[in-house]
Structure 1
Amino acid sequence: MRHVLALLIVLLPLSPTLAQSLPPDLDATMERTLKTFDVPGVALAVVKDGKVVLAKGYGVRKLGGTAPVTADTVFAIASNSKAFTAAAIAMLVDEGKLQWDDRVVDHLPSFQMYDPYVSREMTIRDLFVHRSGLGLGAGDLLYFPQSTFTEDEIVAKLRHIAPATSFRGRYAYDNILYLVAGKVIEKVSGRHWRDFVRERIFLPLGMKDSSTLSKALRVSANVATPHAKADGVLKAISPMGFDNNAPAAAINSSVNDLAKWMLTQLGRGVIPATDGKKRLFSEAQSKEMWAAQTVIAIPEPSKALAGLRANFAAYALGWSLRDYRGYKLVGHSGALPGYYSRVMLVPELNLGIAVLTNQEERSGFEAPLWTVVDAYLGAPATDWVAAFKADDDAKRAKAEGQVAGLQGGRNTQSRPSLPLDAYAGKFRDAWYGDVTLTREGEKLVMRFSRTPGLVGDLEHWQYDTFVARWRDRSLNADAFVSFTLEPDGALGEMRMKAVSPLTDFSFDFHDLRFTPVKEPAGAAVARPVH
């Protein structure tokens, strides 16, 4: 009996009936978060048992300014847009216009992947769950950074992106297939994705400040300016558009609006303040969207974050799943240059949390999130600000050590095999298209033909490898550029690879395979320098 009583004492603090309030020191935690992680502003919303418990802003909209972040301040929510795309499909399923396991080609006959078998067998469900065989972030350079490719061009280029694994073989996060899902919505409903989301989701829920175009951020009266570090110095940057893959990451919203979204999700599709009379989607579709689809391998967390180790992780339909202290969590994060977002639902507690930040620093949303979750679980207090700071420092130190190791192993006495002019010209990748290298003074300059922001000065690294130093230093994505030579000394393939392991995975330089665009017959061939 003593053992039973001891067990009850251990379990009681985690009982949901004993933990029904926000942490008493939440405001102090938010202020520490802003200062520790160099984040100008954060907005936080908490919903519980069908009500908004908190919707509040902290800090400022723009570094050096005085305009405060409020609950109505608009941020880009990036990949938290994916759950809206899933909900749009769920609504169409409710209407009998399609099914999750319909083949994509039955709705979009021109759809093609690299492998004809995959093209034929890909289902609408497959578009959402990151198991297509594409590599991590494959194809992201078609729209990130902002490009001039159209939606139809991007979808057409899928047939040229080689798979990294077998179809449905393993989890690898992608964005590009959500664009295909958006095209399915357009074909079935007769409305473009952004019109469907605005008319069928934002308006019924009263999400008055939410939008689906990047230009809306520029004209909003109450918008958080994005910030990023350029060579270690935090600065305001311009919002980066994602309009040519909007279903993956283009929504802008406030925590007041996201509170309504979370209440609808926790209400299993019931629209708030309608006494259960109106639904966005059915309870059956709610269960479908929260059901595990693709298993995700669980990495071992750092010592500082050992308390967050999950026992299971999976991807559902536009949502990520994991456990924490015996509870199922349904959530997602989102990142675009200068913005980070996080939505987390704890269905068993009827609890939802949304955090929006205007700095691309994940700890700016993670520390507040877990502080609030722990408070409602009645868990022992953890200083998550300190824990995430320690984790950040360890990751940064490791990455800097790896880059320093590369620097230490570099042969600084080596020279390029060819004269500098010989590397100039046009190079073509099957799925991206063209990149040009031009001689400008004593250096080469790389320009991605359809991505205005990717302009970089090439610095010689060693042998036939250079480093592209992007002129927009807030990208934090410098990349190695390496050349091979043909037996006759002509340029062969040009490959790229990010320098730092901390580079955002959407800079999928490593997937590019450039070959020179052949000059007209009779053009001279450069020879190696001896």
Structure 2
Amino acid sequence: MRKSTIVLVSLLLLFHPGAHARDAGDAPAPIAGLDAHVEAVRKRFDVPGIAVAVVKDGEVVLVRGYGVRETGKPEPVDGDTLFAIASITKGFTSAALSILADEGKLSLDDRVIDHLPWFRMADAYVTREMRVRDLLVHRSGLGLGAGDLLFWPPTQYATREVVERLAHVPISGGFRERYAYDNVLYAVAQLVIEEVSGQAYADFVQQRLFAPVGMHASRINSDALRPSDRNVASGHARPGFEGAPVPVPRMAWANNSAAGGIYSSARDMAQWMRVQLAGGVLSGEGDSATRLFSEKRQREMWSLVTPITIRPPAVPELAAATPQFYGYGEAWSVSDYRGRKLVWHTGGWPGMVSRLTLVPELGLGVVVLTSQEVGAAFNAVTMQVLDAYVGAPPTDWIAAYAAAVEKARGGADDDWQKHLAARDATSKPSLPLRGYAATYRDPWYGDVVVAEGRKGLEMRFSKTPQLAGTLEHWQHDTFIVRWHDRALNADAFVDFSLDHDGKVREVRMEAVSPLTDFSFDFHDLRLVPVAGK
């Protein structure tokens, strides 16, 4: 899940001459001005392409594309352009488990070890008591994003290897004690689905969810995109959090598809929202209705399980968006806006962030898919649509979210200045560079290699090709790793601790910038030298 406030306003985005809304048809009266609003959002937050769909009372009332699929190229975004929806995928994983529960093949109250006897967490009690529902609701005791480096950026581990390594991922809180967002337990859910159904996760979702819902263009992971799938958006990021957004390579979570692997379009997501708002009904009414999942399972998916602390708004301009209640259900966030319940989820991916929001009381759904790492954009569009249908007084959501972005960036700048002030730039490493070169091993991630290169020390994560970079001396026995892929925006401090004989005892890491995505969970690593390597 990517951070949603990584953005600066730039004047460098070049709009394609035909960047107006695509997909013919007038917008319904409440959102008649939405096209202009979305274009203003694109301009303010430098988003090359946005796709939007709105559902109301069982009808798809708007499907539109804005901008271009990739900056510098003319191909336009439309309602059929595929985007990585990232963690919005989690709702599909929850629905898959619900289908299996309706069929009596499992219960959400089953213990995970009932289906995966080999499953282990770092605590024996948690292993024994972990239920299938616990895989979905972010209350396991794992820290924020713990274990994500097992698949983010893409690794060479298989799904079962990812889950087996959970036995060594540190638990930082009490079981069911508090909310802490994780992705890794969805890999466990994926294996439960596969074990119970006898199908690969991708096949199950394609056949049991996409096909009946009518999501014919959607795919599981970018590696499932076909040669005929040419209408695909490119993600964009700002290397070093600066400058104009640039295209980034596609990424696939083949070893944790259930957490965030789906590619979909605004048009397909509109069909998903219709089924959700219909309570799982695909067609028909009453006892003769054809259902995707039962009404009982829908209620449980949308019921708050894990409370989330409500914090003051980042800036006063966002006070109106502050909920009265907030929590997480079975793969859905649950909160309220102006007295109405919201069921929603965001998704973050390298270069793409999105949001899907349902207002069940109003029969309203809106999905916003974007091709830049700036959650302010999808929020500004979403809130404009919500206000139109709840009859809220006008709010300048673009200005409000821009203020939040600027505050976040200012906080990151202040944090960096504190590091600079504390640095002893005249200090030298305790050891010659070859003294730091070794293979280091973490119990859950595996091996990380530090070696001498032509320009100094280099670091390479053995199972993660993208995590390769150069170590720059910071002070004393601390270095900063500068990843060769600058669009990762994940440079990290690397602290070498020496023993009494002057040899490296342990290596710890921590992201340099508070804007770095939490999935780069370097701080959970405990790297020690491997004898003989």
Which TM-score tier does this pair reach, normalised by the shorter chain?
over 0.9
Whole-Å separation in 1 of the counterparts to 2:87 and 2:226: 20
Aligned with residue 278 of structure 1, among 272, 290, 295: 290
1:479 aligns with 2:492: yes
CA offsets 1:325-354 (integer angstroms, 9 cap, x no match): 101100000001011111000000010000
Looking at structure 1, the residues matched to 285 and 263 of structure 2 have their Cα atoms a distance apart, in angstroms, of 25
In our comparison, the structure showing a higher alpha carbon Rg is 1
CA displacement at 1:371 relative to structure 2: 0.3
Residue 293 (1) aligns with residue 302 (2):
no
How far apart, in 2, do the equivalents of 1:360 and 1:192 lie? 31
- Listed one character per residue, the Cα deviations across residues 464-490 of structure 1 (whole Å, up to 9, x for unaligned) are 000001110000011000011111111
Is the 8 Å Cα contact of residues 284 and 290 (structure 2) preserved in structure 1?
no
Contact 1:74 1:217 in 2 (8 A): no
Instruction: State the 1:212 CA deviation.
Output: 0.5
1:164 aligns with 2:176: no
CA distance in 2, matches of 1:150, 1:21: 50
* CA distance in 1 between partners of 2:362 and 2:455 (Å): 63
Q: CA deviation at 1:304?
A: 2.4
Task: Structure 1: give runs of 5+ residues left out of the alignment.
Answer: 1-19, 521-530
**C-alpha distance after superposition, 1:172-200 (max 9, x if no partner):** 00001011111111111111111110000
Shift, 1:143, TM fit: 0.4
Name the amino acid aligned to 1:255: A
Q: Provide closer, same or farther for how the CA distance between residues 76 and 486 of structure 1 changes in structure 2, counting only shifts above 3 A.
A: same
Partner of 1:250: 261
Between the aligned partners of 1:274 and 1:82, the Cα distance in structure 2 is: 27
Secondary structure (helix, strand or coil) at the match of 1:482 reads strand
Say whether the 8 Å CA contact 1:128–1:177 is kept in structure 2: yes
What is the alpha-carbon distance in structure 2 between the residues aligned to residue 409 and residue 120 of structure 1?
A: 46
Contact 2:136-2:330 at 8 Å conserved across structures? yes
CA distance in 2, matches of 1:491, 1:507: 23
Asked whether the equivalents of residues 346 and 352 of structure 1 are also in contact (C-alpha less than 8 Å), the reply is yes
CA contact (8 A) 1:21 1:376 kept: no
Secondary structure at the aligned position of 2:43 is classed as: helix
The structure 1 segments of at least 4 consecutive aligned residues displaced by more than 4 Å after TM superposition are 272-276
What CA distance in whole angstroms lies between the structure 2 residues aligned with 1:459 and 1:274? 65
**Residue 278 of structure 1: CA displacement?**
1.2
Q: Where do residues 395-410 of structure 1 align in structure 2 (5 Å cutoff)?
A: 395-410=408-423
Q: What is the CA–CA distance in structure 2 between the aligned matches of 1:364 and 1:121, rounded to whole Å?
A: 40
- Number of the residue aligned with 1:216: 224
Q: Root-mean-square deviation (CA), in Å?
A: 1.3
* Shift of residue 216, structure 1, vs aligned partner: 3.2
Q: Distance in 2 between matches of 1:172 and 1:272?
A: 37
2-structure distance, mates of 1:473, 1:140: 19
TM-score under structure 2 length normalisation: 0.92
Instruction: Identify which of 247, 253, 259 aligns with 1:236.
Output: 247
User: Offset of 1:277 from its aligned partner?
Assistant: 2.7
Cα offset, 1:366, TM superposition = 0.7
Measured in 1, the distance between the counterparts of 2:269 and 2:317 equals 30
Contact 1:263 1:272 in 2 (8 A): no
Any gaps of 5 or more consecutive residues in structure 2? 1-27
Shift of 1:272: 5.0
Deviation at 1:230, TM superposition (A): 1.2
Q: Is the 8 A contact 1:21 1:375 kept in 2?
A: no
Check if 1:344 corresponds to 2:328.
no
Residue 307 of structure 1 deviates from its aligned partner by 1.4
> Does structure 1 conserve the Cα–Cα contact (< 8 Å) formed by 2:48 and 2:71?
yes
Say which of 89, 92, 108 aligns to 2:116: 108
Map of 1:227 onto structure 2: 236
Partner SS for 2:269: helix
Counterpart-to-counterpart distance in 1, 2:31 and 2:275: 24
Please tell me whether residue 313 in structure 1 is matched to residue 348 in structure 2.
Answer: no
The aligned residue for residue 145 of structure 1 is: 153
Question: What TM-score results when the alignment is normalised by the length of structure 1?
Answer: 0.93
- Equivalenced residue count is 501
Q: Is the 8 A contact 1:217 1:239 kept in 2?
A: no
